[in-house]
């Protein structure tokens, strides 16, 4: 089930009605748990078993961590959680990737190896809920948090449908305490939650799907050689598409949770107005970057063991972060480029720490950041390195004799929409959506809300899945 479908509209309306009936809080939580399983089962019912396995293993692992009296027993319980979660992730998400690379290695060594067909379906959202459940046992192991008081609250934390398949990646300390006391949205929360859902679906259905996706596909999914204009237009269109798609999902998820009375953290803070790459990762997919920082970068040493160790930890974190996004070496290259950017930035800050750019230089550094981020999007979007080099070659003027691929309308649409997105990010750079809404006249807010809802209806989306479902 996807947010951008009529099925979800009916489903969510039923959930809202049940949640606002005069029932006990335990009954309401059971209703939310059952609804979340239905939401997930709409894709492939057997994969509910994976959710159960992850939930049960981590519940008992956390209980074992608390009761263990010897350090060896604590290590064993933690190892059980890590092996169970990463084992499922490796089998379903990286099995084909590892098999293909092993076959290529055997071929390179002159050995003919023909493995059986690895026909495994990737469970939707497995990367997100395994990270969420692992954070639970890791926090208990590191004594950062106590385990949940009952299995119902923990199971609901794992499966709560707004964040289940594409985040935000929730920490147990953020959501489990909210399940302990009855929660119901106020009138203001319900209105703002529905407005957030409308904004998120507008980003997804109207901007990402109706305008930008086709522009990117006609260059990245075609066999034609792109010229400079086509390569840049398609890459910029993809930068807008992936933001509108993923931020659209997160915004819709946060709005859906708020309609039920629950708060979830921001996952995007206008990242295309970032100045520098550490600033970019404080604004893009915030819950993932904080997860990687707390559970990977810092355990690898962080910045506590000298300069060389810091750079190694930084690169390993971003390389693994790239691999988390997809079982393909192009994603590793994407992560590696971001790791390189962060390392260079860290070096320059160490050399020129006292430099304070003026307003014009500040904006120029922001635009440079955005353009370099777009170079990384080439590897994220291209399915092969060959295609990535072809697009990069076009962007840097190596295909001067290439024939046009995109129409003038597509070029203008890409420039206008992406320009509007980047301009909006710069306007909102130091602001929050809540503060802007509070200062805007209600009539203007209602008009904007109605226009977005109307655009969603006339776009007549086919309920296409969000990009991050495949991760």
Q: Which residues are catalytic?
A: 325
- Residues whose CB falls within 8 Å of the CB of residue 127, separated by 6 or more in sequence, listed in order: 89, 93, 324, 471
Q: How far is CA 138 from the centre of its chain?
A: 21
The helix-helix angle for 329-351 and 307-325 (nearest 10°) equals: 150
Q: How far is CA 34 from the centre of its chain?
A: 25
Can you give the three-state secondary structure of the chain, one letter per residue?
CCCCCHHHHHHHHHHHHHHCCCCCHHHHHHHHHHHHHHHHHCCCHHHHHHHHHHHHHHHHHHHHHHHCCCHHHHHHHHHHHHHHHHHHHHHHHHHHHHHHHHHHHHHHCCCCCCCCCCCCCCCCCHHHHHHHHHHHHHHHHCCCCCCCCCHHHHHHHHHCCCCCCCCCCCCHHHHHHHHCCCCCCCHHHHHHHHHHHHHHHHHHHHHHHHHHHHHHHHHHCCCCCCCHHHHHHHHHHHHHHHHHHHHHHHHHHHHHHHHCCCCCCCCCCCHHHCCCHHHHHCCCCHHHHHHHHHHHHCCCCCCCCCHHHHHHHHHHHHHHHHHHHCCCHHHHHHHHHHHHHHHHHHHHHHHCCCCCCCHHHHHHHHHHHHHHHHHHHHHHHCCCHHHHHHHHHHHCCCCCCCCCCCCHHHHHHHHHHHHHHHHHHHHCCCCCHHHHHHHCCHHHHHHHHHHHHHHHHHHCCCCCCCHHHHC
Contact 220, 382 (CB under 8 A): yes
Quick one: which of 98, 90, 82, 150 has its CA closest to 126? 90
Q: At CA 160, angle to CA 50 and CA 84, rounded to 5?
A: 30
């Amino acid at each position: 089930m996807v947010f951008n479908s009529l099925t979800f509209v009916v489903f969510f309306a039923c959930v809202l009605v049940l949640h606002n009936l005069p029932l006990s809080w335990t009954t309401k939580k059971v209703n939310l748990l059952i609804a979340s399983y239905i939401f997930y089962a709409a894709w492939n019912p057997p994969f509910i078993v994976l959710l159960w396995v992850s939930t049960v293993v981590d519940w008992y692992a956390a209980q074992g961590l608390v009761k263990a009296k010897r350090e060896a027993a604590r290590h064993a319980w933690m190892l059980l959680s890590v092996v169970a979660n990463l084992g499922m992730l490796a089998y379903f998400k990286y099995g084909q990737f590892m098999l293909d690379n092993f076959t290529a290695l055997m071929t390179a060594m002159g050995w003919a190896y023909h493995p059986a067909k690895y026909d495994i379906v990737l469970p939707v959202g497995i990367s997100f809920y395994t990270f969420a459940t692992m954070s639970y046992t890791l926090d208990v192991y590191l004594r950062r948090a106590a385990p949940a008081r009952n299995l119902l609250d923990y199971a609901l934390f794992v499966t709560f449908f707004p964040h289940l398949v594409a985040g935000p990646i929730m920490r147990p300390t953020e959501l489990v305490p909210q399940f302990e006391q009855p929660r119901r949205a106020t009138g203001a929360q319900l209105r703002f939650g529905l407005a957030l859902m409308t904004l998120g679906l507008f980003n997804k259905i109207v901007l990402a799907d109706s305008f930008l996706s086709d522009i990117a596909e006609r260059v990245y999914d075609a066999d034609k050689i792109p010229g400079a204009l086509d390569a840049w237009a398609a890459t910029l269109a993809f930068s807008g598409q992936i933001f509108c798609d993923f931020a659209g999902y997160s915004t819709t998820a946060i709005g859906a949770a708020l309609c039920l009375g629950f708060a979830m953290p921001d996952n995007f803070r206008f990242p295309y107005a970032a100045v520098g790459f550490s600033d970019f990762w404080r604004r893009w997919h915030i819950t993932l970057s904080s997860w990687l920082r707390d559970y990977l970068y810092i355990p690898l040493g962080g910045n506590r063991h000298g300069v060389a160790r810091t750079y190694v930890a930084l690169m390993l974190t971003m390389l693994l972060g790239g691999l988390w996004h997809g079982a393909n070496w192009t994603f590793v290259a994407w992560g590696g480029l971001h790791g390189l950017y962060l390392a260079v930035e860290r070096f320059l800050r160490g050399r020129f720490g006292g430099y304070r750019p003026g307003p014009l230089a500040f904006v120029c550094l922001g635009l440079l950041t955005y353009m370099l981020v777009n170079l990384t999007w080439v590897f994220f979007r291209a399915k092969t390195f060959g295609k990535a080099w072809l697009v990069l070659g076009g962007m840097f003027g190596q295909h001067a004799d290439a024939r046009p691929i995109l129409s003038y309308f597509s070029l203008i649409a890409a420039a206008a929409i992406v320009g509007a997105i980047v301009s909006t990010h710069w306007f909102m750079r130091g602001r929050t959506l809540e503060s802007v809404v509070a200062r805007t006249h209600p009539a203007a807010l209602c008009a904007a809300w109605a226009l977005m809802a109307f655009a969603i209806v006339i776009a007549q989306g086919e309920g296409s899945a969000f990009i991050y479902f495949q991760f």
